[in-house]
Amino acid sequence: MQQLNVELGERSYPIYIGSGLLGQPALFTDHIHGRQVCIVTDDTVAPLYLERLCATLKDYQLLKVVLPTGEAFKNWATLQQVFDALLLNRHDRKTTLIALGGGVIGDMTGFAAACYQRGVDFIQVPTTLLSQVDSSVGGKTGINHPAGKNMLGAFYQPQAVIIDTDSLKTLPAREISAGLAEIIKYGLIRDADFLSWLEVNMAALRCLDAALITEAINRSCSIKAEVVAADEREGGVRAILNLGHTFGHAIEAHQGYGQWLHGEAVGAGMVMALDLSRRLGRLNDTDFERGRSLIAAAGLPVSPPAEMTVEDFTELMSVDKKVLDGKLRLVLLRQMGQADVTADFPLESLNATLNAWRQ
Amino acid sequence: MQQLNVELGERSYPIYIGSGLLGQPALFTDHIHGRQVCIVTDDTVAPLYLERLCATLKDYQLLKVVLPTGEAFKNWATLQQVFDALLLNRHDRKTTLIALGGGVIGDMTGFAAACYQRGVDFIQVPTTLLSQVDSSVGGKTGINHPAGKNMLGAFYQPQAVIIDTDSLKTLPAREISAGLAEIIKYGLIRDADFLSWLEVNMAALRCLDAALITEAINRSCSIKAEVVAADEREGGVRAILNLGHTFGHAIEAHQGYGQWLHGEAVGAGMVMALDLSRRLGRLNDTDFERGRSLIAAAGLPVSPPAEMTVEDFTELMSVDKKVLDGKLRLVLLRQMGQADVTADFPLESLNATLNAWRQ
C-alpha cells in the first residue's frame, strides 16, 4: 500500500492506494469517530462492492443508500434520498458518510456530508479510475443545476481517501479511457516527465498493468494534492486542474449529462485547449500533435461532437465558474508540462478553435 | 453607529449597529468585491426597504429576488429560485448576495451563498430584532427538512452584518417580543448583570426606546460574537446558545413552522429549560420565577401548547442536532448567567418537566 497526504492544516488527510484495501477495517476505523456509518453508492457499484464493504464495517450501525447510477441523477432530488435516510434512521452529527463509487457518488456524498446538520465526516472510496485520480481528492463536492454542471456545492474535505485498485478490474474499457484523460491532464499541466512516461506506458496502462496503474494513480494524486494544498478554494493556481474542462463541460451539457463520459468530454476538450494554445503561439505543431496523439492513444475522442456549433459552445461556456466580470477565462498551456489560466486571448482565435472541427 | 467584530481569523467580520445604515453606501461597498450584487428578500420586507437599499447600491449590477415570506418556505424549492435567478443573470463567483430580511431570509441567503458555485460572498442586513441579535451573527445558515428544522445547511460566515435599527419601527409587537426572547437568553446563559439590566428596562425595550434597544442589540451581539469566536462550528461551548431551543424546535415542528414565531417557541422552551434546571437542583424557585417573569414581561408565552403530549416532545426532540449516540443533550442553567450542555439528567426529571404543563 502507498500513502500520500493532502496538506491542508487541520483539514489534512491521507490518501491510501493499493490492492485489497476495501477489506482492511483499520483503514476505515482510524477515520470514523462515531458509531453510525452511512454508505452511499449507486445501483451499478452496489452489486459489486457493497456487501464487501459492509463486511469490513460490520461493527458499526450501518445504513446503506443505493442511488440510481449516472450524471443525470446528480441533483437535489437524488440527494434528498440520502437526507431522508439519515433522518429516518436518526443519524446524528457524529455519523460518517462513505462514498462508494465514481465521481458522481463522491461529489454527491461529499455535498450531502457538507450539508447534513451543517457538516458531518465523510470518507471517499472511489471505484473508478477517474474518481481515483481526480474527483475524490481535493474537496470539491456538489450537484448539477439544469443551467450548468457542478453549479451548486461546497469545498468540503474528506477524512480520508481509500483507493482500492482492485475495483478497476470490473471497470469497462471506456471508463478506463475516461480516467486516463485526467491522468494525461496532470502531465500536460504540471509534469513533462510524467507525460513522457505516459507515452511509453499507455498501452500497458489500458491493460491495467498493476504496478503501472498504481504508479499512475500515485503520481496523479501527488500532483493534485500539491495543487490543492497551494490553493484549496481555487483562488488561483488550482484552476489549472480544469484544462479542457470548459470545452468539456459544454460538450457534456449539450449532449445531455451522461451521454459522453466526463473523461471523454475532457479528452476532446483538452485537444481544443491545445489547439487554442497552438493558435496563440504557445505550443508548436509538434507539441500539439504529441498531446493529441496521447489522448487518442488513451482511447479518447479528440474532437467535439460534429453537430455542435460555435454558438452552442459560446452559449454553454458563458456560464462556466471561471467566468469573471463577464470575461471567459480558459486554462491554456504555456508549454508541455506548464499551464496557466487566462482571459488574454483574441475572440477570433477562440472562434477559430471552435470552428476547426466544423469543416 | 457602533461597531463590533467577530474574531474568526481570516473569516473575521464587522457588525455595524445604528440608525439609517441602509442609506450609507460605504458600509456596503467596503465589503463588496465584484460588480454584481443580488439582494434576496421576502414579500413582506420588499415593499418596506428594498427600493431604499437598491438606491444605496445603484452603482452595481443589481439583481433582486423576492421570496414568499415565512418559515414554511425555508426549503430547497424556495432556495432554487435564488439559484435560478443567479444563473439566468450570469452571476459569477465574485457576486455578493445580500440578505435583507429576518432570520429565514438570512439563513436561506447565507446557505445559497455557501452553495452557489461552491461559495460566494454575502452580507447580512437583518431587519427583525430576532435576526439582529441572533441569526445574522455567527455563520449558521440552512434550510428545514420535513423531519427537522435547520437540518441541512452550512457554517458560512458573512462579509459583514449591517443592523439598521430603524427597521424595527415597522415590526409588529409580536416580533419585537420574539426578538427579546433571544436577548433574554444571552443574559440567562452568560451575563447576570445584563439580566438585571433587562429586568429594569423591559418595558422601555418593548416600546423601542432607541438608546436602550441599541444597547441591548450591542450587548447581545457581543456575547454571541464572543461565544462564536470561541467555538465556530459548535464543537462545545457554542451549543449553550441553544438554551430553550430543543423544546422550542419541538413546539415549532408540532405546530407547523411559522404558526408560533421562533422567538415565542424559544420563550416557552426557555421556561421549560429553567423548570428542568430547577428540578435538578441547579436553580432555586426564586431563580426560576425571575426567569419566567422576565420572559412573561417580554410578552412571550411561558408554557407550551396545551395539546402537546410528552410523546410529541420526546419524538420531536429525538432528531435534535445535539443528539449524540442516541442521547439527548440539553442546555441547562448552572446558575443565573451560566449555562452548560449536558446529557446527565434522569429521564424522569425531563418527563416531569414535559408533564408539568399538562395538569
Rounded CA-CA distance B324/B304 in Å is: 25
Q: Which residues of A touch B323 (CB under 8 A)?
A: 90, 92
SS3 category, A236: coil
Both B51 and B99 in one domain: the answer is yes
Q: Which residues of A touch B118 (CB under 8 A)?
A: 140-142, 150, 153-155, 233-234, 321
Distances A84 to A71, B257, B321 between C-alpha atoms, Å: 21, 19, 15
Query: Which of A131, A151, A170 is a domain's end point?
Result: A170
Query: Which of A123, A140, A170 is a domain's end point?
Result: A170
Mean per-residue pLDDT over chain A, rounded: 95
Q: What is the CATH number of the domain that holds B191?
A: 1.20.1090.10
Q: Are B266 and B298 in contact (CB under 8 A)?
A: no
* Residues paired with A125 in a beta bridge: A100
Rounded CA-CA distance B333/B340 in Å is: 6
For residue A112, what pLDDT is reported?
98
How many A/B residue pairs have CB atoms within 8 Å?
104
What's the mean pLDDT in A181-191?
A: 98
Q: Are B131 and B178 in contact (CB under 8 A)?
A: no
Q: Can you list the positions of beta strands (E) in chain A?
A: 2-6, 13-18, 36-42, 61-67, 96-101, 121-126, 140-145, 148-155, 160-164, 330-335, 338-342
Q: Which residues of A touch B83 (CB under 8 A)?
A: 145, 151-152
Both B119 and B227 in one domain: the answer is no
Q: Are A282 and A188 in contact (CB under 8 A)?
A: no
Rounded CA-CA distance A109/A269 in Å is: 27
Q: Are B134 and B159 in contact (CB under 8 A)?
A: no
**Helices A245-255 and A310-317, packing angle to 10 deg:** 110
Residues 6 or more apart whose CB falls under 8 angstroms from that of A273 comprise A243, A244, A247, A330, A331, A332, A333
For residue B359, what pLDDT is reported?
65
Both A178 and A163 in one domain: the answer is no
Both B8 and B147 in one domain: the answer is yes
The set of cell numbers assigned to B259 is: 404558526
Contact across the interface for B147 and A76, Cβ inside 8 Å: no
The set of cell numbers assigned to B205 is: 425595550
Distances B247 to B227, B288, B357 between C-alpha atoms, Å: 22, 17, 13
Which among B192, B164, B183 has a CA at the least distance from the CA of B224?
A: B183
SS3 category, B313: helix
Q: How many CB atoms lie within 10 A of CB A252?
A: 24
Contact across the interface for A318 and B34, Cβ inside 8 Å: no
Both B247 and B156 in one domain: the answer is no
Both A147 and A185 in one domain: the answer is no
Which among A165, A87, A73, A75 has a CA at the least distance from the CA of A120?
A: A87
Both B153 and B197 in one domain: the answer is no
**Nearest Cα residue in chain A from B142:** A118
Domain of residue B6 covers 2-170
Percent of chain A predicted with pLDDT > 70: 99
Q: How many CB atoms lie within 10 A of CB B56?
A: 18
Rounded CA-CA distance A99/A117 in Å is: 18
Q: What is the CATH number of the domain that holds B23?
A: 3.40.50.1970
Both B190 and B125 in one domain: the answer is no
Q: Which residues of B touch A94 (CB under 8 A)?
A: 324-325
Both B234 and B280 in one domain: the answer is yes
Res. A322 pLDDT band, cuts 50 70 90: confident
How far B323 CA sits from the closest chain A CA (Å)? 6
Both B138 and B277 in one domain: the answer is no
Query: Which of A121, A141, A170 is a domain's end point?
Result: A170
For residue B340, what pLDDT is reported?
96
Could you please report the per-residue DSSP string of A312-357? Answer: HHHHHHTT-TT-BTTB--EEEEEETTEEEEE--S-HHHHHHHHHHT
Which residue, among A75, A79, A135, A152, would best test binding to B if mutated, counting the most B CBs under 10 Å from its CB? A152
A118 in B contact zone (CB under 8 Å): yes
> Could you read off the pLDDT of A146-184 as tens digits, one per residue?
888 899 999 999 999 999 999 999 999 999 999 999 999
Structural domain count of chain A = 2
Both B23 and B163 in one domain: the answer is yes
- Given a cut of 70, the residues of chain B with pLDDT beneath it are 359
Catalytic positions of A, written as ranges: 118, 140, 182, 224, 234, 238, 242, 245, 249, 262
Catalytic positions of B, written as ranges: 118, 140, 182, 224, 234, 238, 242, 245, 249, 262
Rg (alpha carbons) of chain A, rounded to whole number: 20
Res. A359 pLDDT band, cuts 50 70 90: low
Both B78 and B218 in one domain: the answer is no
Rounded CA-CA distance A333/B359 in Å is: 77
Contact across the interface for A324 and B88, Cβ inside 8 Å: no
Task: Find the range with the poorest average confidence among A167-171, A299-303, A316-320, B184-188.
Answer: A316-320
